[in-house]
Structure 1
Amino acid sequence: MEAHSGHSYPPALSSLESARLVQVVKDWTLGKGLAVRPPPTAVTAETELLGTLGMSAPVTLFPSPFPKVCFDQARSVQKAYNELYAKISQNETFISQIVADVAGGDDFIANLWAVHLRVKKEGYAQPLSLGLFRSDYMVHQDRGSAQDAHARPQIKQVEFNTIASSFGGLSTKISELHKFLALTEYPLLRDPSSHFTYDLPANESTRGLAAGIRSAFEAYGPSDLGFSTCVVFLVQRGERNVFDQRHLEYELQRQSAVPVFRLPFAEILTRTSIADSGRRQLLYRLPSNPERIFEVAVVYFRSGYGPADYAQPSDWDARYQIERSAAIKCPTVLTQLAGAKKVQQVLATPKSSSSPSELSKFIPEDAPQYQDVWQTFTNIYPMDGSEAGLAARKLATDPEQCQKYVLKPQREGGGNNFYRSAIPPYLKSIPESHWNSYILMELITPPPVTNVILRNGNLEKGGVICELGRYGACLWNQDTGDILYNEDAGYLLRTKGDQSEEGGVAAGFGCMDSCNLV
């Protein structure tokens, strides 16, 4: 894909130009907080304990060309997706069937469901639910014929994230970086292709996500117990992506001076308690001043999305304590389960002559939002014992056919999937009774793009694959179904080398990027 007709992209750089641009980017990223903590292998144990170091997040030197029609498509459908997943989280019967389909081979999903059932038995204390979502897409363009070469590109959904949708803080920063470079550095390059106007869309993901948290904080209202109310970010110990989270915190405090505290997931039972009242308010004690108590209005999960966060049985008790409390959760267990890959597969199953599509249970077929959402789906298949599942098992275990697919478990975060030739041996390594906890997705074929990645001080130039994430913020009443807040909340572009399968930035596969609309 060329950014400007008749010119290659990105612009060619001489060694001197490259050195200058790299230095400018390094200084800007550290000066503006487009940064991460260094990995343990890069620092001494003593320095790591002091927590004094940061390093530039991996970034592209240029914004990647991205079809404007696809960018607009993702933006226009986000509010419909927000409402769709709010409705899914309210449909306990639907989610219970999803859990039944996959829990036999997935203890993590089964344990999440057990937390919900445990709270349901005593009754939920808080009907309001907050979602900070991210819907991830790749550009798809049919290939193989002369007609395909002129086919209009469209987005196809990779996944929908309902918990710990990261990089909203850094995505605003990378957009600002590329705008800065377009004004100050690109015009100085010798290559003529660098002198054209860049179409760099505004990106207010930090503001949009913080506004979603603020809407929940305000909806919670003042404390009945006379305490100051606060927001708690549940985080992982040793979090490298701390600055991404801090940017949301700083923006939230800038917007309305909301007290925000970071609480490691492993310390929930130590630092919080449930008030001895009918409302079951969640109380938080400052570790630096245990006599100072805050009432928690909103709990924002940036941890708790994978089995590693539940190393001890007490960690499940901690999740139960949060879930049964009166704090507004982002997300609740039901909303987290709504983000399971199995939900995505079921929604993308076409209707048959004998039954409607599952999507139509949540969005009427005659509503314009139905087609808007449906057009983003790609081919996804179950791996169960149904007719469709048995057909998918054949594809997944065939050495030739599997080259077109990715096998996905019910997990968030990078590094969990199995691609192409890795699928058959992996399936052989696990009991066949566990296969139904996976889905098989047809690989999306994005058009070729070239860029330069700056990672750990080194440049990597070549073909890249871009993945667009669209953020959404939604607050709803789980009992009545009322939507109290529903907004698009900016975008994320992650880019990786075209030889890499996984795209997670925090997992070390991808880098931060922004869109140059073409």
Structure 2
Amino acid sequence: MGLSAGCAEVSYPPDIDDAERERLVQTIKDWGIAHGLAVRPPPAVIASDADPQGILATNAPVTLFPSPFPKSSFEEAKAVQTAYNKLYADVSRDEAFLGQIVQEVSGDDFISQLWHVHQRVKAEGYVQKLSLGLFRSDYMVHQDSTDPTKAPQIKQVEFNTIASSFGGLSSKTCELHRFLASTEYPQLKQSNANHGYDLPENDSAKGLAAGIKAAHDAYGDSALGHQRCVLFLVQGGERNVFDQRHLEYALQSLSPGLLVFRLPFAEILQRTSIAQTDRRQLLYKSPTNPDKVFEVSVVYLRAGYGPGDYPTPADWDARYQIERSNAIKCPTVLTQLAGAKKVQQVLATPVTQSQPSELHRFVPDDSGASKQIRNTFTHIYPLDDSEAGQQARKLALDPKECLKYVLKPQREGGGNNYYKAKIPAHLNSVPEESWKSYILMELITPPPVANIILRNGSLEQGGVICELGIYGTCVWDQGTGDVVHNAEAGYLLRTKGDQSEEGGVAAGFGCMDSCTLV
């Protein structure tokens, strides 16, 4: 995808020589560390025994230039976010619907364990009615290869309801490209290299923090007289710590004096307890001052989204302790289950198929929100015993047809999918009764884009694929459905080489990017 300068099409990215590359790279490296566009170095870069105190940081992978992105698609994705927030809030409230989803993917033990936590809490009664969602809806631009004159369309890849990451680093990446556009790009030798970038504002860290603040404010004062705090539940050895810290700092900027504590998931039972009251307040003791007791208003989970966070039964007990408490959870177990790929497939199933879409269960068919949401759907199929599932199985196992699809389990975090020719082999390697826990999604065909990626000090230039994530925040009453807060909260652009199939930045596949609208 080129950029227009007047009536002329400009090659993109700009053609830069070795000296210009070196200057840009050095500028980006310095700016990135100075402004926290950084991660802890992976073992492939710095061996753990070379940094035993964990003092080192390195640049997050990033593009040298913002990537061209269709303005109409960008605006469409932003405009639909609050409708998606409300949709997934309502899905999380529909226990019968989610129970059916869990039953349909019964071969997935992790999903079953989450459902068991919900049932344990339901048996004794939930005490907190409010829920917080920090969501991210991910999209790619689809270009009809049979009709290149047709306008590009935004199509949803997935909807994330837990640990929707990179809100902090995405803000910083947009700042970086804005800085380069005002200082470095104008100095490039190529004619029209500084052709008027259209860089949309993006303060996703502040937007996400505003959602946490809304939940904290809605929680109210402590009935026990304790100082309130917010807990970030995190993984041990988290490399993406600076991304999370940016949200913490933004939250403390919005609410001066609010304390935020980072608690490793494995230490939940050691550092928290439940008050012996009808409200079951969640209490926290800091390891540095164990005599001081805090009441937790909001628990923000940046861990707990995959089986690796639950190596022992005690870890499931820890999740149960959080879930049964009065703290507002982001997300609750039900909201996490709402983010299962099976939910996305069921909602996106066209009404014309033998298994009708369930979208109308949550959004009236004749509403503007329904049209907005449906326009973002791509073709997704079950792999169950239904007529649609049987047809999808044939597509997935066919050596030619499978090249048009990606196979997805009910997982978050990147690196879990099977693409194209790998699909038949994987399905044949697992018991057939577990196939129904997967979905089959038609691959989205993006328009050609090129860029230069800086990763671990090395440059990679060539074709790239961009994935847009739109953040949303929502606070709602799980009982009544009343929405306390609902907002679109900025964006993320992740970019990967067009020969890569996975796109996770933390998983080592993608890089941070920002949009220049065309």
The aligned residue for residue 27 of structure 1 is 30
The aligned residue for residue 111 of structure 1 is 113
Q: Which digits, 9 at most, give the CA deviation of each residue in 1:393-424, with x for residues without a partner? A: 00001111100000000000110000000000
Question: 1:102 is matched with which residue: 102, 105, 111?
Answer: 105
Unaligned 5+ segments in structure 2 are: none
Query: Are 1:465 and 2:468 matched, yes or no?
Result: no
Query: Are 1:128 and 2:127 matched, yes or no?
Result: no
The aligned residue for residue 303 of structure 2 is 303
The aligned residue for residue 506 of structure 1 is 506
CA contact under 8 A between 2:472 and 2:489: conserved in structure 1?
yes
In 2, distance between residues paired with 1:176 and 1:355?
A: 46
Other structure's SS at 2:373 match? helix
The aligned residue for residue 331 of structure 1 is 331
Q: Which digits, 9 at most, give the CA deviation of each residue in 1:137-169, with x for residues without a partner? A: 00001112xxx1110111000000000000000
CA contact under 8 A between 1:230 and 1:295: conserved in structure 2?
yes
The aligned residue for residue 255 of structure 2 is 256
The aligned residue for residue 219 of structure 2 is 220
In 2, distance between residues paired with 1:189 and 1:433?
A: 58
CA contact under 8 A between 2:410 and 2:437: conserved in structure 1?
yes
Instruction: Give, in angstroms, the shift of residue 353 of structure 1.
Output: 8.2
TM-score, normalising length from structure 2?
0.98
The aligned residue for residue 91 of structure 1 is 94
CA contact under 8 A between 1:381 and 1:389: conserved in structure 2?
yes
Instruction: Give, in angstroms, the shift of residue 44 of structure 1.
Output: 4.0
Other structure's SS at 1:441 match? strand
Q: Residues 244-283 of structure 1: matches in 2 within 5 Å? A: 244-257=243-256, 258-283=258-283
Q: Which digits, 9 at most, give the CA deviation of each residue in 1:435-472, with x for residues without a partner? A: 00000000000000000000000000000000000000
The aligned residue for residue 150 of structure 2 is 151
Question: 2:45 is matched with which residue: 17, 42, 55?
Answer: 42
Instruction: Give, in angstroms, the shift of residue 356 of structure 1.
Output: 5.5
The aligned residue for residue 410 of structure 2 is 410
Instruction: Give, in angstroms, the shift of residue 195 of structure 1.
Output: 2.0
Question: 1:17 is matched with which residue: 8, 16, 20?
Answer: 20
The aligned residue for residue 164 of structure 2 is 165
The aligned residue for residue 398 of structure 1 is 398
Query: Over aligned residues, Cα RMSD in angstroms?
Result: 1.0
In 2, distance between residues paired with 1:352 and 1:224?
A: 53
The aligned residue for residue 488 of structure 2 is 488
The aligned residue for residue 138 of structure 1 is 140
In 1, distance between residues paired with 2:213 and 2:426?
A: 44
Instruction: Give, in angstroms, the shift of residue 354 of structure 1.
Output: 7.9
CA contact under 8 A between 1:3 and 1:516: conserved in structure 2?
no
Question: 1:76 is matched with which residue: 64, 68, 79?
Answer: 79
The aligned residue for residue 178 of structure 1 is 177
Instruction: Give, in angstroms, the shift of residue 204 of structure 1.
Output: 1.1
In 2, distance between residues paired with 1:194 and 1:61?
A: 13
Amino acid aligned to 1:250: Y
The aligned residue for residue 289 of structure 2 is 289
Q: Which runs of 4+ in 1 moved over 2 A?
A: 40-49, 352-357
Other structure's SS at 2:51 match? helix
In 2, distance between residues paired with 1:72 and 1:290?
A: 49
In 1, distance between residues paired with 2:463 and 2:350?
A: 34
In 2, distance between residues paired with 1:281 and 1:321?
A: 11
Task: Name the % identity.
Answer: 67
In 1, distance between residues paired with 2:47 and 2:203?
A: 36
Amino acid aligned to 1:363: V
CA contact under 8 A between 1:135 and 1:157: conserved in structure 2?
yes
Amino acid aligned to 2:383: M
TM-score, normalising length from structure 1?
0.98
In 2, distance between residues paired with 1:29 and 1:326?
A: 39
Paired residues, what number? Answer: 514
Amino acid aligned to 1:429: S
Larger mean Cα displacement after TM superposition, 37-46 or 310-319:
37-46
In 2, distance between residues paired with 1:49 and 1:297?
A: 34
Amino acid aligned to 1:135: S
Q: Which digits, 9 at most, give the CA deviation of each residue in 1:40-59, with x for residues without a partner? A: 23334345331210000000
Instruction: Give, in angstroms, the shift of residue 194 of structure 1.
Output: 1.1
Q: Residues 189-204 of structure 1: matches in 2 within 5 Å? A: 189-204=188-203
The aligned residue for residue 186 of structure 2 is 187
Amino acid aligned to 2:30: D
The aligned residue for residue 204 of structure 2 is 205
Amino acid aligned to 1:232: L
In 1, distance between residues paired with 2:280 and 2:134?
A: 24
Instruction: Give, in angstroms, the shift of residue 357 of structure 1.
Output: 2.9
CA contact under 8 A between 2:462 and 2:497: conserved in structure 1?
yes
In 1, distance between residues paired with 2:421 and 2:329?
A: 40
Other structure's SS at 1:42 match? coil
Other structure's SS at 2:284 match? strand
